[in-house]
Amino acid sequence: MSATATAPAPAAERNERRTLQGVVTRDKTDKTRRVEVSRRVQHPKYGKFIKQRTVCYAHDETNESHLGDLVEIRESRPLSKLKRWVLVRVVTKAPSRQLAALEGAVPGATPDAAKSAVTAKAK
């Protein structure tokens, strides 16, 4: 065993944490978002590139992100049983959910009329 001790890393270097970008896939819980981070890896035997995903639960203090948003998350200390990430920023917002309700509606119609038309088609 050597008697020399290694010097501790500087604070700035020690606090650098991983940041990832992913898509919010669930926003039903308060201050928690489920974020899927996709990546492409090469198969070890066949060499084909395949898609893999990692599911991270991130803390969103202000509930600013919603379903479909592209977000940036940063590693943090454990916040709960599953949460180990914190939302840094929303990179791009998802298209409005209202547009999905208006799909197939008559141009110039009010959103309420479009919703009733969509429900009438479903019946």
In this predicted structure, what is the pLDDT of residue 67?
93
**Identity at 71, one-letter amino acid code:** V
In this predicted structure, what is the pLDDT of residue 72?
96
The most distant pair of C-alpha atoms in the chain lies apart, rounded to whole Å, by 80
Summarised one tens digit per residue, pLDDT across range 17-52 is 999 999 999 999 999 999 999 999 999 999 999 999
Name, in order, each residue with C-beta under 8 angstroms of 7's C-beta and a sequence gap of 6 or more. none
* C-alpha dist (Å) from residue 67 to 9, 14, 74, 98: 39, 33, 19, 13
Distance CA 29, CA 59 (A): 10
Distance CA 69, CA 77 (A): 24
In this predicted structure, what is the pLDDT of residue 95?
85
In this predicted structure, what is the pLDDT of residue 96?
73
In this predicted structure, what is the pLDDT of residue 32?
96
Q: Flag residues of the chain having pLDDT under 70.
A: 1-14, 97-123
